[in-house]
Amino acid sequence: MPVDGGHYYDLYHSPLANAQTVQDVENFPWPDPLDVARYVGMRAAADQVVYGEKKAFILERMSSGMWKHAMWMTGYEKFFIDMISNQPLVHAIMSKILEIKMAYWGKALEQMGDYPVIISEADDLGGQNSLLVSLKMYKNLIWPYHKKLFEFIKSKAKGKAYIFFHNDGAIYPTIPLLIEAGVDILNPWQVNCAGMDDTAKFKREYGRDLTIWGGSCDTQRVLPFGTPQDVRDETRRRIEELAPGGGFIFAPIHVIQAGVPAENILAWWETWQEYSKY
């Protein structure tokens, strides 16, 4: 991220851009997930939140999602091609990242003792209009790694563990698989993406199985470009469709961008204040 004026992380280098074989993956100097520096102060911070502040907490991942990180390692274009033409390489990279994540989460959960924790994981499976790969390809090549990781996390947690999964885009077709894999909380629910606008339908079909974290107001069109009344109407609709029965954590869809009118942010916030109580 740029030191001055940066808002996003930009890919700088793909170290496995020339990788062709499983051995190329094995030869790469992967980071040590058990480096003690990763865990210094972790338990003390949790104690402070639980006992000092009387709050729940989220335990953050050590890196981005497995699939996204794999694509960063080779570059997007190469990884998409390899998913068709060089699947042994794809599995080697995904398996290595899974191994590292499992080691990290095993150690981190050991630090947490019997605290109930929300575990933060991620992988952006969708774009604006569709999944980034076919549902079949997701199920065969990516989903097994999600399932293994989430099952491992829940098996290692001494207290209750809830899987928070950040998953951008038009991802509605993946929901049954995500539930089967063990996802409890889905974020950010981009209502402006294809197939994602009907939050009432989602609530009917999956509201008992998933909590939505986000989804409160369209941050691409309504929040930045609508009137304050547009924002109020949109926000009230999302609350009325997603909140009944619980399972809705009111939050923006990803990040409120620069340039959003202050009066729209206030309208969004005030609508939450007015309609948030059960």
* Mean pLDDT rounded to a whole number for the chain: 95
Give the model confidence (pLDDT) of 177-205 as tens digits.
999 999 999 999 999 999 999 999 999 99
3-state secondary structure of 216: coil
Q: Average of pLDDT values for 266-277?
A: 95
Place of tokens 């077709």: 173
Distances (CA, A) of 126 to 44, 135, 141, 168, 274: 37, 11, 15, 6, 33
Q: Which CATH class is domain 19-177?
A: alpha beta
Would you place residue 4 in the very low, low, confident or very high pLDDT band (cuts 50, 70, 90)?
low
Position 6 pLDDT exceeds 90:
no
DSSP lists the bridge partners of residue 212 as: 186, 248
Q: Which of 169, 177, 162 is nearest to 120 (CA)?
A: 162
Position 5 pLDDT exceeds 70:
no
Would you place residue 246 in the very low, low, confident or very high pLDDT band (cuts 50, 70, 90)?
very high
Domain regions of the chain by residue span = 19-177, 188-278
Alpha carbon distance 25, 158 (integer Å): 33
Sheet holding 185-187, edge to edge: 58-59, 117-122, 161-166, 185-187, 211-213, 248-249
Position 2 pLDDT exceeds 60:
no
- Give me the pLDDT at residue 254, please: 86
- Give me the pLDDT at residue 241, please: 98
More confident position, 144 or 258: 144
Position 9 pLDDT exceeds 90:
no
Would you place residue 247 in the very low, low, confident or very high pLDDT band (cuts 50, 70, 90)?
very high
Position 1 pLDDT exceeds 60:
no
- Give me the pLDDT at residue 277, please: 84
Q: Average of pLDDT values for 145-170?
A: 96
Residue 46 burial class via C-beta count within 10 angstroms: exposed 0-12, middle 13-18, buried 19 and up: middle
Position 121 pLDDT exceeds 60:
yes
Position 67 pLDDT exceeds 60:
yes
Which percentage of the chain shows pLDDT scores above 90?
88
Alpha carbon distance 9, 170 (integer Å): 22
Q: Average of pLDDT values for 234-262?
A: 95
Position 168 pLDDT exceeds 60:
yes
More confident position, 170 or 115: 170
Alpha carbon distance 112, 104 (integer Å): 13
The phi-psi region of residue 254 (left if phi > 0; otherwise alpha if psi is between -120 and 50; otherwise beta) is left
If one counts every other C-beta atom within 10 angstroms of the C-beta of residue 41, the result is 10
Structure tokens at 201: 């339908």
- Give me the pLDDT at residue 11, please: 82
Would you place residue 130 in the very low, low, confident or very high pLDDT band (cuts 50, 70, 90)?
very high
Give every CB contact of residue 63 below 8 A, 6+ residues apart in sequence: 69, 97, 100, 101
- Give me the pLDDT at residue 7, please: 67
- Give me the pLDDT at residue 255, please: 86
